[in-house]
Structures are given as C-alpha cells and as structure tokens.
Amino acid sequence: MEFKVLKDILSANDQIAEENHELLDNNKVFAINVMSSPGSGKTSTILQTIKGLKGKVKIAVIEGDVSSSIDAEKISKEGILALQINTGGECHLDANMLNRAINNLPLADIDLLFIENVGNLICTAEFQLGMHKNLVISSTAEGDDKPLKYPLMFTVADVVLINKMDLSPYLNFDANAYKNAVKALNQRAEIFEISCTTGQGVDDWLAWIKKQMDVE
C-alpha cells in the first residue's frame, strides 16, 4: 500500500512537471535543477555563473530552502531576480512548488533559470520538476565516495561539478576514483573540476551552459 501511495504521488508530480517543462519551453527559458548536499557550494557556483554570463543571457534564480531567505538575498545583491521557496520542513522541491513559483516570474524576460534545490542527496533526485538539465555539485571536502553512497542522484545527473578543487591538496580526495564511480552509474554525465574561490574550471562550466543554450 505504501508503495502505491508513493507511486501515485510521483505520478501526479510528474504530470505537473510536464506542464512546467512545456511552460518553460513556450517562453524559451532554459532551466537547470541544482542539487547537492549542504555546504557543497550551490549558491557560490550560481554566483560565479552569474558573473560569467552577465550581459550575455538574462538569468533568474528560484531558491529552495527549508527556511530562511539567506541565499536569495545573496543573489538579489547581484541585481538578479531571485524568488524564494520555503518548503516548511520538506527535504525537496516538487513540481507543484515550482509551478507556483514560475507562474510568478516574468518568463518572457528570462533566458536561464537556476532552481537551487534543498540541500540533500536523496529525495531531491526522486522528484521531477520540469527542468531541462540536472546539475549535481559535490565538494572535495565531502569525499570521493559520494557517487557510491547516493547512486540515484548521480544516475539522474546531466552534469556534475566537483567543487572546491583548491582544497584537494589538503584532503584525501581521489578525483579519478570519483569520476570513475560517476561514469559507472551514468556514462552521459559530463564532469568538470572547479573552484569558486580560484576560478579553476569555471570557464569550462560556462562553456557547457553556452553550448546547451546555443549562445556565444
């Protein structure tokens, strides 16, 4: 019975996700669902991306958090439209939450939409939102075994960023082992090593976005 209930919930969610996807497509908005554990650098990565793409594409951000609007305030300070969703205890965003949010955005004035999901590596991977791509961010400080411990997250990823590479000389982090574990789960996922502190690899990440959006 519990499995049937969960299946029904996910089915209803997926239907709304399809509506979200169609709405975004009709308005020519490219949406990226950003997932990671807390502290991996989701907001820092979004801020670096904003810095690199400002003037080239029009960006907006939906911030998902259990509570607070700290990250949305950081984004807004950069002159970027940020809309806060507080889940009130839920460990993930769902398609209905996103539907309400995007219907309150000026979609005609947006090219690229980041959806910063709630920080965890489990249930965020289970709920479709209607995005175009799934981005997973890990930091070197979390260890190189995350793909082995949370396989679903990396199975649904379109692109994976290994963040905080500037710390790797001080940590027991094996980048090749991490990449091999990701590829064993998901051959199509692209992987970039970055540092939001030093800027390492950020240009490669920006080039990936530009390629997806077909912009110079």
Per-residue pLDDT of 56-98, as tens digits, reads 999 999 999 887 788 999 999 999 999 999 888 788 899 999 9
Q: What pLDDT digit, counting tens, does each position of 178-187 carry?
A: 999 999 999 9
Is the four-CA dihedral 56, 50, 88, 153 of positive or negative sign?
A: positive
Residue 8 has pLDDT above 90, yes or no: no
For helices 2-26 and 95-102, give the axis angle rounded to 10 degrees: 20
Q: What is the residue whose two structure tokens read 């300070």?
A: 77
pTM: 0.93
In this prediction, residue 10 carries a pLDDT of: 76
> How many C-beta neighbours within 10 Å does residue 34 have?
27
Residue 4 has pLDDT above 80, yes or no: no
Q: What percent of the chain has pLDDT over 70?
A: 96
Q: Of the ranges 6-10, 18-22, 48-52, 141-145, which one carries the lowest mean pLDDT score?
A: 6-10
Mean pLDDT of 100-112: 96
Residue 131 has pLDDT above 70, yes or no: yes
- Domains delineated in the chain: 2-213 (3.40.50.300)
- pLDDT class of 1 with cuts at 50, 70, 90: very low
DSSP 46-102: HHHHHHHHTTTS-EEEEEEESS--HHHHHHHTTT-EEEEEE-TT-SS--HHHHHHHH
For residue 209, the model assigns a pLDDT of 98
Quote the CA–CA distance of 74 and 71 in Å, as a whole number.
5
